[in-house]
Amino acid sequence: KSGTKATLYTLEEYNSPMSEETSLEEIELGQAVVTNRIFDNKAWVIIKDKKLIDNIQIGDFVKVTFKKSLTRKFDNISDTTKGLIY
């Protein structure tokens, strides 16, 4: 939906000194807003932070922030309660 908030991320390799395992960590870069240019599986976003724009690299990605409506929150509470009773 146009106007929806989104967060930009990059992946950073992390080497654990304890386990000696390597993993990828999602690092938050900044915020964006979805434009009205929305397609089936992609959309354009607006980034207002000039410094962020200058630091975006190929492979960085965006996650859209979805908020649950008040009724959906009550649905989850209701479902949880039913699970506990039965």
The pLDDT profile of the chain, 86 residues, written as one tens digit per residue, is 888 898 999 999 998 888 889 999 999 999 999 999 988 888 889 999 999 999 998 889 998 877 666 555 555 544 333 222 22
Residue 79: the pLDDT is: 39
Q: Which candidate, 58, 3, 67, 71, places its Cα nearest to that of 31?
A: 3
